[in-house]
Chain A
Amino acid sequence: MNRALRPLLATTAIFVLAYLAAIIQFPAMLSTRVLGNFLTDNAFLGIAAVGMTFVIISGGIDLSVGAVIGFTTVLNAVLIMWLGLHPLFAFAISLTVAAAFGAVMGAAIHYLKVPSFIVTLAGMFLARGGASVLSPDSIGIKHEVYTTISKSYVLLPGGGRLTVIAMIMLVVFVLGMILAHRTRFGSYVYALGGSEVSAGLMGVPVARTTILIYTLSAFLAGLAGIVFSLYTSAGYSLSALGVELDAIAAVVIGGTLLTGGYGFIAGTFIGVMLQGLVQTYIVFDGSLSSWWTKIVIGGLLFLFILLQRLVFSAAAPRRKVFWKS
């Protein structure tokens, strides 16, 4: 079996077991309502985590994600409420700005040979600071498009609601999987994570791929920002604080190797859902502090990093070779 699949299987098993345990304690958790809320509440995190998965597979890290989400919510609110633009037009502008921001970070990482950690840290301060300059206060968004979108949903059997933003997240995951596993771009991302030197010698367009990876991550962070503003009907410079860290946690729990080269978009989905499960459990329990989410996520992260070490540091099994003479 492929070694890289093992952490993913472990995550899936843990998710299933944890969900079963939760259901035994609170049978009400087994319903499409809960499931629908899972998806809706974590839509912005999931979308951002897809971008983060690409970045981490390529061997980098993107710390600017949360700040870009925050910036996009404010930019959206400003464009719609202060300048009176149509929301769809505002979305297009926000996404373009976010993508351009990512492209600049990617270019800096590649051409200046600065670690992605530092460049995106700078990006994080810039985006968060820029958002606060635009508006230090929360701006409520009132527009019929916003009301329509947040009211629309598909009714699931069992009374659950699959909201528009949940659907956006699911679509992003599906597209992300196709992009990662079925396109040349996807294979280049894995190649960079395997060895940038080898990739270059093999003809991978390293510069273009690096720039595209950070463009994609920032674009998806922008999309997550739009989803977040739809979710909260507001733009606030301090929203989505620390979401980049939740996204990294989801990616790693989902079986992607922090050092790059191995990983699955589908794993990230389970990573996000696992975080949602912990939150929901805490809501159902009622007596636990919501900070327990962080503690559980911390414990899981630690477990998975340990697991990856075990799986990948054990000498690779040598396959049998059949030589024809």
Chain B
Amino acid sequence: MVNGSQPVVQARGIVKIFGQHRALDGVDFEVRPGEVHALLGENGAGKSTLIKILTGAYQPDGGEILLEGGPVRFSDPLDAQRHGIGTVYQEVNLLPNRSVAENLFLGHQPTRFGMVQRRVIEVKARELLATYGLEIDVKAELGSYSVAVQQIVAIARAVELSGKVLVLDEPTASLDRNEVAKMFEVVGRLKARGLGIIFITHFLDQVFEIADRVTILRNGKLIGTRTLSEVTTTDVVRMMLGKDLAFDHGGVGVAEAVQGPVRVQFKSLGRQGKVAPFTLSLHEGEVVGVAGLLGSGRTEMARLMFGVDTADGGEISVGGRVVSIRNPAQAVAAGFGFCPEDRKLDGIFGELSVRENIIIALQAKLGWFRALNRDEQDEIAGNYAEALDIRAANHDMPVKLLSGGNQQKVILARWLAIDPNFLILDEPTRGIDVGAHAEIVRTINRLREEGLALLVISSELDEVVAYSNRIVVMRDREMVAELSGADIAPSVIVAAIADNRGSQAAKMETSA
């Protein structure tokens, strides 16, 4: 049935441009009735942009959308909803302060003489939720239920009001295994009713569990649409990370022989529900790469190391001495630096000057009473700007005017200024012109040669192999492999990321 029918919604050659950046470049996508179609891609691949276009939140700059064969334009999400496309977002967009029944029917409450007929609504709500296998007190506040229940209420509302296509944007991100099973039961029922379902997630095993087909995007381009029964996890990971594995990268890697004493050691560091306890030592002059898909626990690991999130077990030692790192200030005091993934949000102070951005961590470390005077600031900023080749007209211009690569170097300079023991870089080349990638990679290599210990998280496998002495692989919030020597090659990394769905399923069953 799935293969024969006409698509209920179809996007053809969609183009979306933000400023200079092509967020989507000629992407085709379709959903058939009675099909669960997964949409996969790393951060910045264009998943959410495509969804926003399909649900009317954005207007495409090129291409067309066909609904049941006819071209349509959605002016806003409500318009898309009226046309039959309903969306459920990861952070439930309902009203936690109102009752379940009201959330289901808000704006469509039956009224008599202008009075809302509350009884009627409650009865209808109870009946509606029963068809989803949910028996709850519909008069209670929505916020008093778990996220899973809220998701299902949101699905019920979306299906009730639209009824052709249901978009599920990371609906399982905050659910436990049992709740995911319930959610999939609901999805199965809707699929049987003939709805077209678009399922966005970064859990590969869930894609294989529930979806019929998968479409993979990378850097705004369509990589391909596949029927899931015909592909393996490795195929999908390879498509997502986009590495031509036939090509041998051997010899690019870094000689591992030159290794200094242990600089930093993390022993069974972990946090319930975030990252399983891991043990990792970094030596002087060593770069450890971290590979893994989005949501695998990469960033969570870095946040634990830097004290952004507090570990609930394990210990950290620096140069052999155990230190307590429960917040970023303690991490800085221990000589750690952290360049976060979302530079604009967590890294730079856009309105402040290049100079101020560079000296801020050093100043924070020195404290209130040892203010750096203007000459010292200029000197420090100047030195690092020169060392890292930061291209800015002058050091007093706001850092937000710089290119992505130069902003990244400003953050690097900020941490180098405190003379760190250990530097964590989370996706250092994301959102940077391809040309500037090589420069960041060169900088990382140079810092390593100068004796710094670095942990670099990246989904660019080519780059990881180019600067890492060792690579650890994260999957399902757990460190699953540590690669070194000849194993530092994209094909080995992809295999480790995709590894054995069988054992993964087994593990989940035992935990469920």
Contacts and interface: CB of A to CB of B under 8 A. Distances in A.
Interface of A: 2-4, 178, 182-184, 186-188, 190-191, 193-195, 197-199, 201-204, 261-262, 316-319, 321-325
B141 A2 contact: yes
A319 B153 CA distance: 14
Given A183-B114, A202-B107, A321-B134, A195 B95 contact: yes
B116 A182 contact: yes
Contacts of A188: 106-107
Contact of B144 (A186, A195, A316): A316
A319 B106 contact: no
B115 A323 contact: no
A317 B144 contact: yes
Contacts of A317: 144
Given A183-B116, A322-B136, A203 B107 contact: yes
Contacts of B107: 184, 188, 202-204
B141 A316 contact: yes
Question: Which 10 pairs, one residue from A and one from B, show the smallest C-beta to C-beta distance?
Answer: A194-B95, A261-B97, A194-B97, A322-B135, A203-B107, A198-B93, A324-B133, A182-B115, A201-B93, A316-B144
B137 A319 contact: yes
Given A184-B111, A191-B95, A318 B182 contact: no
B116 A187 contact: yes
A262 B97 contact: yes
A324 B189 CA distance: 13
6 contacts: A182-B115, A184-B107, A187-B102, A191-B95, A202-B106, A203-B107
Contacts of A193: 97
Contacts of A202: 93-95, 103, 106-107, 157
B140 interface: yes
Given A2-B141, A178-B115, A194-B95, 6 more contacts: A188-B106, A190-B95, A197-B93, A198-B93, A203-B106, A316-B141
Contact of A190 (B94, B98, B182): B98
A190 B142 CA distance: 13
A178 B96 CA distance: 22
B143 A187 contact: no
Contacts of B77: 201
Contacts of B81: 203
Contacts of B95: 190-191, 194-195, 198-199, 202, 261
Interface string B362-382: 000000000000000000000
B334 interface: no
A323 B134 contact: yes
A1 B343 CA distance: 45
B135 A324 contact: yes
Given A187-B102, A316-B144, A321 B94 contact: no
B185 to A, nearest CB: 8
Nearest to A182: B115
Interface of B: 77-78, 81, 93-98, 102-103, 106-109, 111, 114-116, 118, 130, 133-137, 140-141, 143-146, 149, 157, 182, 185
Contacts of B94: 198, 202
Given A319-B144, A319-B145, A322-B136, A194 B96 contact: yes
Contacts of A198: 93-95
B133 A323 contact: yes
B93 A191 contact: no
A194 B103 CA distance: 11
B379 to A, nearest CB: 43
B109 A203 contact: no
B168 to A, nearest CB: 15
A184 B141 CA distance: 18
A321 to B, nearest CB: 6
A321 B146 CA distance: 9
A317 B130 CA distance: 23
Contacts of B106: 187-188, 191, 199, 202-204
Contacts of A182: 115-116, 118
Given A202-B93, A317-B144, A318-B146, A187 B136 contact: no
Q: Which of A186, A201, A322 has the most CB of B within 10 A?
A: A201
Contacts of A316: 141, 143-144
Contacts of B96: 194-195
Contacts of A323: 133-135, 182
A215 B348 CA distance: 43
A325 B81 CA distance: 29
Nearest to B103: A202
A316 B145 CA distance: 8
A258 B53 CA distance: 37
A183 B133 contact: no
Nearest to A3: B141
A190 B141 contact: no
Contact of B98 (A3, A178, A183, A191): A191
B78 A203 contact: yes
A325 B98 contact: no
Given A187-B116, A203-B78, A204-B107, A319 B97 contact: no
Contacts of A262: 97
A325 B181 CA distance: 11
Contact of A321 (B102, B111, B115, B145): B145
Nearest to B140: A319
Contacts of A322: 134-136
Contacts of A183: 111, 114-116
Nearest to B143: A316
A321 B136 contact: yes
Nearest to B149: A321
Given A197-B93, A322-B135, A184 B149 contact: no
Given A190-B97, A325-B133, A184 B144 contact: no
Contacts of A4: 97, 141
Contacts of B137: 319
